Structure 1
């Protein structure tokens, strides 16, 4: 039996695309294992899938000064040693990396053991972990055509991003039933990313009464961000995080307000959901979401509001515009040439597996 070790973590965006590949890999006869950190979000997600999980040490990679920048390199070295022992014991045919700081020691360990590595970059510009990992990778799969020239040594392969099959099979009726909405109003789904967005949460909650006049609202607000005062509010359903119910809720949504991480926006594109994107600002990110959102706006798939410009009045006005022009955005998405990247990534894995 062929064996593949997957890695990636730090946020759900570095984990869930891996899960999109799992059914096809199993169908092709691969035994699948995963390497992650002890307390990372990846552990809970992967262990729920009953995939063998290995724990290693990994330091966080930062673009800013922090005293931990002096100690975390030693955690990375420890992680490389631990991952090397796992490679020697498990002898995988391939390592697949979705990025995030946990991936760096795994990719380096695979390279040292002459195991092929395929990485995937969701965003238009490579993240820090993938930039460090790229020299040790056999190929780097990318989502945007603009990304091909940003990967050195002719290693880029344009594949698109993998979309979980179950997302395309959700039930609109079941989604409404899960939320227990009584009034037949359009459903507005709000997604702040797997870790939530306090900024978006605050704007939504400040304008909640006005928004509820027109919409039923499903709010995925992130761990620890539930508002207990709003639990009983009619037409408002909040979750910290959803997994199994997500396909049904996304299919039930009429419009979506979201951050602009590559994984979620390509899921919205696949589902043809009219959307407003609020990318993370450069103050709190490397600006990748701004580029992602600009690409989708240019293609006619999304309305974009920059975080610095977001207010209750602008949000309400933009939602009105989105609803009035819903068919225009759906038509643009229906004419998109972007494809589910699952098959292309699997093909690349099969081509280079040891």
Structure 2
């Protein structure tokens, strides 16, 4: 069986594709090809995991008439022809898209070539590319019941979001050793993403002395992003709290395994991970995400009392500290974890692969 995955732009589109691919490999003798953009983060992530990767000239479009946007339209037309060549060479049984601008040319080419196609929408509110593709693809899967209404109902299934096994099958004692933490203290995870970290970093940094006074017996794991790593590591040297600082955390599963509370953005991968790991979190949606999808993700969790949500422009020392106190309260933790279980089922990868294999008659 030959399968093409097309994804890119953010981890919220890349990691669901990887989770589906890994589940497929446990069931079938399979050849997998990932297709992404030439200069996106997906190439580095996917090739590190030893998957075959091909690039196309896809570029993101913005909703303004500019010379750059017109040029990007040309690149996307070119990407459709490149995708047709890849399909002719690889001859896939199915082409799967998990969102992002790079998915559109490949899925459009697959539709033209009359290939079996499937898209997965991991966010609560779908992007324009997936909404348009949804009219023509063979099957659609979505992470949330609330998302189903945006697609043709007769071919849309709610599966939950696929998450890699490496995220939620981690041992807490190993995580404590890996991060060099104290076994008897509660752990707060600060992981705002590598490219949208500054606002959260600034507020956490300005709050450290107050946190020392008001929240006892805690320690922190803090992923700062590359640009602020050296500065923050230097500035927290004198803190009375044990703070383990990283520019990037490659094994986020270990970080979740040891964390009692977290401060996070609200991208598709992140919200899926807190559901799977049952991690009580403060969600601070990134305000510049396409279609403001992070805020829409976060609001669903707030309505279901499955997370605390603080908007980026409202994040302050006091709101952060009050939120952390609430999350670390034992009664509140039990309630949030119970509500996280209700968001979606934990077998999204399995359900999607069942659908893929059925569609492919394999």
**TM-score (normalised: structure 1):** 0.92
Q: Which residue of 2 aligns with 1:333?
A: 340
Distance 1:249 1:221 in 2: 14
SS at match of 1:120: strand
- Aligned counterpart, 1:56: 56
Instruction: Determine helix, strand or coil for the equivalent of 1:117.
Output: strand
**Cα deviation digits, residues 212-269 of structure 1 (max 9, x gap):** 55431112233433143525636222223222x3211110111111111232112111
TM-score, normalised with respect to structure 2: 0.90
Residue number among 328, 353, 358 corresponding to 1:351 in the alignment? 358
Question: Which 10-residue stretch deviates more, 34-43 or 179-188?
Answer: 179-188
- Ranges in structure 2 where 5+ consecutive residues have no aligned partner: none
> 1:243-258 residue pairs with structure 2 within 5 A?
243=250, 245-258=251-264
Aligned length in residues: 351
> Equivalent residues in 2 for 1:1-354 (5 A)?
2-27=1-26, 28-152=28-152, 154-182=154-182, 184-212=184-212, 214=216, 215-231=218-234, 233=237, 235-243=242-250, 245-281=251-287, 285-324=290-329, 325-334=332-341, 338-353=345-360
CA shift in 2, pair 1:194/1:115, >3 Å: farther
Asked if the contact 2:33/2:53 (under 8 Å) is kept, the reply is yes
RMSD: 2.1
When residues 113 and 285 of structure 1 are mapped into structure 2, their CA distance, relative to the original with a 3 A threshold, is: closer
CA distance in 2, matches of 1:196, 1:280: 7
CA deviation after TM superposition for structure 1 residue 19, in Å: 1.4
Take 2:39 and 2:19, find their aligned partners in 1: how far apart are those partners?
22
Q: 1:65 to 1:197 in 2, by over 3 A?
A: farther
**1:99 aligned counterpart, secondary structure:** coil
Residues 328 and 221 of structure 1: CA distance in aligned 2, closer, same or farther (over 3 Å) = same
**3-state SS, counterpart of residue 227 of structure 2:** coil
Q: Which string of whole-angstrom CA distances, capped at 9 and with x for unpartnered residues, describes residues 33-70 of structure 1?
A: 11112221100111011111111111212234543111
CA distance in 1, matches of 2:249, 2:174: 14
Structure 1 residue runs of 5 or longer lacking an equivalent are none
- The CA deviation at 1:135 is 3.1
Work out the CA distance in 2 between the residues paired with 1:236 and 1:65.
46
Contact 1:126–1:150 (CA under 8 A) maintained in structure 2: yes
Cα distance between partner residues in 2 of 1:336 and 1:143: 9
- 1:334 Cα deviation after fit: 4.4
Separation (CA, whole Å) in 1 of partners of 2:359 and 2:352 = 11
User: Secondary structure at 1:59's aligned position in 2?
Assistant: coil
Structure-2 change in CA distance of 1:331 and 1:196 (3 Å): same
- What SS does structure 1 have at the residue aligned with 2:3? strand
**Which whole-Å CA distance do the structure 1 matches of 2:163 and 2:228 have between them?**
27
Distance 1:229 1:300, change over 3 A: closer
Q: CA deviation at 1:284?
A: 5.1
Q: For residues 211 and 66 of structure 1, do their structure 2 counterparts lie closer, same or farther at Cα, with a shift above 3 Å needed?
A: farther
Change beyond 3 A, Cα 1:212–1:85: farther
CA drift of 1:335 comes to 5.5
| Separation (CA, whole Å) in 2 of partners of 1:54 and 1:95 | 14
Q: Distance in 1 between matches of 2:157 and 2:147?
A: 9
Q: Contact 2:224–2:232 at 8 Å: present in 1 too? A: no
